[in-house]
Structure 1
């Protein structure tokens, strides 16, 4: 193992050879962005990376408040119509002008087969071009948080996509690729120069950018380094300037080092477990002829068999916040009153299983990534050990997110781990995307176990259009009570952000785990 790590480190040094200019910053992550197509995968690392190349109509400031981006202003002209004034003089990286036609094209592109962004635009009825720099977006019902939702919808060039046969997003479920998987043509502050999947991706400053780039970085080299020890060694040696996640056991070591520091802060992501509640027979289980997860007693038994405090203490090194909700603090709709977990009770869980007809437990496969969330594989291993105490045998299938996401997004799973950050910072996002009954328009697109409660869905639609804050909060509370009573999912915890950053580098750490290249400054006066 030590030799393998040494060889990986040597390869890393070679990968960074030549990238030593004063305004170059080297970023490492445990995984890679799986595509350069901003509509192909609704995953925060991919969106974080591509957000430096592509832009939405409405962006975010450093404090996550809304900011003008490709739209300079927006307003409601009726309860269901929003008008957006588009920024003039903006060019795509190939020099072509940005116009309303690109907005209409991009909004439509998010809604076609293969798009992973349908849940953001599933309630858009029509997008209309008023003139070259004005568009109207009409929704099926009043949608007061539409500008927040659009922060995740990146605008692509209609002409470039048509020329390069990339009018549809790549479908991660089918493994299909097109030109937009490896190339990019956005309006953002950085341009894609080189793309080597799972090896290295290089970005360079866009000299024709319409806005201000506060940082001094001319080049960003992004490299996936899956091995924790190698990633930490690269930071401490100065071969990497920014890396994440910092293994929880190395936070103090990095913070006490002379050349780097660990930036630790709460993240808005909730880690949870989902179960197939739709099929009459699970795909991967010893139980034949029926689906044990359709029985609330089984779901509750799994919930109460999980020692979440043990996971916090031994796996997460106390850098996590156990939760009973599918959203965390900082998300509109969160209340501490509701954030109560069912008690850890293995004996009670055994009784629930027996009452449900499984006195000896059963066998089921659990799908888990090993390079996406903080200690994701170790969390799954611990959950498997917890469940073994009540007679449930877990066949753990842990794999890289490059194969994990396509599999679970096909719903080719019986039991899985997932994380979710509501990109609108509002409960409706999680309700609509993760907890609603799946439909063909985008609702429940990431409800991969197909939990379904019509009353919950009714409240989700009402929350979307309600403008009275008190009424809206009451409906959110009622919906989360329904979901908790159903044991619709098994919430685990909110993980903490932990970035390792060179002391020569200044970055802005956003609560949604996005890294904006335009805000990075490198002070390299002393060399490397």
Structure 2
């Protein structure tokens, strides 16, 4: 049997369904108790955990604090910032034309104003009084050089697809840059709030060349922190930039040291001993320990990430959608949420999280998913479906990593499901420092049929996720292709954000991906952050990958 194909919904979207760039955090279900210490949190009596909008304001400045990373970045060059470790560091040093806020709304950044005089033109007025960390002033020339970096195929930027519709990037005034598009693109300006909109010194890019972003040179940006040092295998240290332009985000700590701790237990021990002051992506098996004992506090926040298995080989045993459907039906995803996340999360009913649908209420998101294919846990039906598709002992290889305690649990559950439907799975462990390469290097991932991701949407727009699955796109790792999906994607890109028909095309893409399952969605869970008793002030939101979160942390 095949999982039912959802009928296409063509009802007109209401005005309330327009993708406004705003989002309100709401409480969710789970098993851990929420907290209520007077900070800005949302909760309901039934909620077993809560999403906290912000932690208590710091009492003052602090000399320094330490922060853990689960892996060492392989570079700090912004064009290749496509994973948690480099982005966590870079977000405090490098800034974009727009700013992604903790609620995932957008606001002016290095561009104090942006205008859209016609459907294919964006004009950015560059903020005056901003300097790079070497003291040189930010100019329109720097913006042109930084954005144009992604257009040069010789550099191999991971973000090239964002500039596919760009015709020209030119300085059109002393403090003005104009981007001309080949056709309307509803995503381009939104992406100016994250890595594609990052601005680096033109002189630095030209001078450092291939050495830009390495351990010796670092970066030269405009953020509240400047690059101080990088000791390979140990730490990256940032220092406060005294001449930072935004008084509301002046760094409260003189120094931040990022230490590389790949083992989850080592990270937790470093937090509880006070050796390290905090870290994102808390190992779920330590939730109870950290909630019940100090020194410090565990917070859950707004997230856009889904734990999923990326299908990397569509020319192998998983090439038939029926086999992928059978695999998902054979995974006990409720059990995985309990084992991998201590119940702090929800089984994925879509490829994307509810928080990705910016501007929609919870009821509207639920209505969006009403016609999606569903994959309840049913091993018997899954085995029958796989047999119909010709599964008969074929081998598949699943990559996992010790960086996350949950990763091995997910890999084991997926392998068990693969056995159930008649496949012969093999799990291979990849070190944390090399696991990130799977997302950028085709050779590194070539032998794996599946590899796990906590894939985060960078924007509160479903197209940020769906855009990665278009034919020929960099992040479409398995080379999946569907003409109906591509046609809907083209409509979404060409349609203004405030046009209700855009929402209908996004629904279509959601339905197609849940039917064909180019990626196997497992569950979603909140962002998590631990802070010791010494510090406070951060907003527990996935926006930390693009926002200078460390500048908000000071003495508790």
The alignment status of 1:120 with 2:162, answered yes or no, reads yes
Could you tell me how far 1:127 is from its partner in structure 2?
Answer: 0.9
Match in the other structure for 2:31: none
Match in the other structure for 1:492: 522
Among 212, 235, 239, which residue is 1:204 paired with? 239
Work out the CA distance in 1 between the residues paired with 2:98 and 2:261. 32
Q: 1:205/1:227 Cα in 2 relative to 1: closer, same or farther (>3 Å)?
A: same
Match in the other structure for 1:362: 394
Unaligned runs of 5+ in 2: 1-60
Work out the CA distance in 2 between the residues paired with 1:492 and 1:341. 12
Work out the CA distance in 2 between the residues paired with 1:329 and 1:250. 26
Among 334, 344, 351, which residue is 2:384 paired with? 351
Among 92, 95, 98, which residue is 1:55 paired with? 95
Q: Please list, as runs of the form range in 1=range in 2, the aligned pairs for 1:287-306 lying within 5 A after superposition.
A: 291-306=316-331
Could you tell me how far 1:353 is from its partner in structure 2?
Answer: 2.1
The alignment status of 1:427 with 2:479, answered yes or no, reads no
Using the size of structure 1 for normalisation, the TM-score is 0.85
Match in the other structure for 1:405: 436
Work out the CA distance in 2 between the residues paired with 1:111 and 1:322. 39
Among 220, 231, 245, which residue is 1:185 paired with? 220
Measured against aligned partners, the alpha-carbon deviations of 1:481-523 in whole angstroms (never above 9, x if no partner) come to: 1222223321111122221111331122223443611111124
Work out the CA distance in 2 between the residues paired with 1:478 and 1:72. 36
Q: Paired residues, what number?
A: 473
Work out the CA distance in 1 between the residues paired with 2:133 and 2:357. 36
| Higher relative contact order (Cα pairs below 8 Å, separated by 6+ residues) | 2
Work out the CA distance in 1 between the residues paired with 2:333 and 2:555. 40
Q: 1:485/1:22 Cα in 2 relative to 1: closer, same or farther (>3 Å)?
A: closer
Could you tell me how far 1:374 is from its partner in structure 2?
Answer: 6.0
Measured against aligned partners, the alpha-carbon deviations of 1:47-93 in whole angstroms (never above 9, x if no partner) come to: 23101111100012343321221100001011110100001122211
Could you tell me how far 1:214 is from its partner in structure 2?
Answer: 4.4
Unaligned runs of 5+ in 1: 1-20, 167-177, 280-290, 439-443, 524-528
Among 375, 392, 403, which residue is 1:342 paired with? 375
Q: Which moved more, 1:143-152 or 1:221-230?
A: 143-152
Among 267, 282, 293, which residue is 1:246 paired with? 282
Secondary structure at the aligned position of 2:253 is classed as coil
Using the size of structure 2 for normalisation, the TM-score is 0.81
Among 471, 481, 484, which residue is 1:455 paired with? 484
Match in the other structure for 2:74: 34
Work out the CA distance in 2 between the residues paired with 1:93 and 1:197. 22
Work out the CA distance in 2 between the residues paired with 1:238 and 1:401. 24
Q: 1:318/1:478 Cα in 2 relative to 1: closer, same or farther (>3 Å)?
A: same
Match in the other structure for 2:413: 382
The alignment status of 1:416 with 2:445, answered yes or no, reads no
Q: Please list, as runs of the form range in 1=range in 2, the aligned pairs for 1:204-283 lying within 5 A after superposition.
A: 204-212=239-247, 213-276=249-312, 278-279=314-315
Among 107, 118, 129, which residue is 2:171 paired with? 129
Secondary structure at the aligned position of 1:293 is classed as coil
The alignment status of 1:436 with 2:470, answered yes or no, reads yes
Work out the CA distance in 2 between the residues paired with 1:133 and 1:496. 40
Work out the CA distance in 2 between the residues paired with 1:309 and 1:265. 21
Could you tell me how far 1:465 is from its partner in structure 2?
Answer: 2.2
Match in the other structure for 2:28: none
RMSD: 2.1
Match in the other structure for 2:206: 162
Say whether the 8 Å CA contact 1:29–1:245 is kept in structure 2. no
Say whether the 8 Å CA contact 2:327–2:382 is kept in structure 1. yes
Q: 1:266/1:84 Cα in 2 relative to 1: closer, same or farther (>3 Å)?
A: closer
Match in the other structure for 1:175: none
Work out the CA distance in 1 between the residues paired with 2:300 and 2:307. 17
Could you tell me how far 1:368 is from its partner in structure 2?
Answer: 2.7
Work out the CA distance in 2 between the residues paired with 1:469 and 1:165. 42
Work out the CA distance in 2 between the residues paired with 1:408 and 1:395. 20
Secondary structure at the aligned position of 1:336 is classed as helix
The alignment status of 1:150 with 2:192, answered yes or no, reads yes
Work out the CA distance in 1 between the residues paired with 2:257 and 2:398. 35
Q: 1:404/1:231 Cα in 2 relative to 1: closer, same or farther (>3 Å)?
A: closer
Among 540, 548, 551, which residue is 1:509 paired with? 540
Say whether the 8 Å CA contact 2:299–2:529 is kept in structure 1. yes
Measured against aligned partners, the alpha-carbon deviations of 1:220-256 in whole angstroms (never above 9, x if no partner) come to: 0110112222222221222211123222222222222
Could you tell me how far 1:305 is from its partner in structure 2?
Answer: 1.4
Work out the CA distance in 2 between the residues paired with 1:404 and 1:233. 23
Secondary structure at the aligned position of 2:229 is classed as strand
Work out the CA distance in 2 between the residues paired with 1:408 and 1:36. 16
Work out the CA distance in 1 between the residues paired with 2:530 and 2:329. 35
Could you tell me how far 1:110 is from its partner in structure 2?
Answer: 1.8
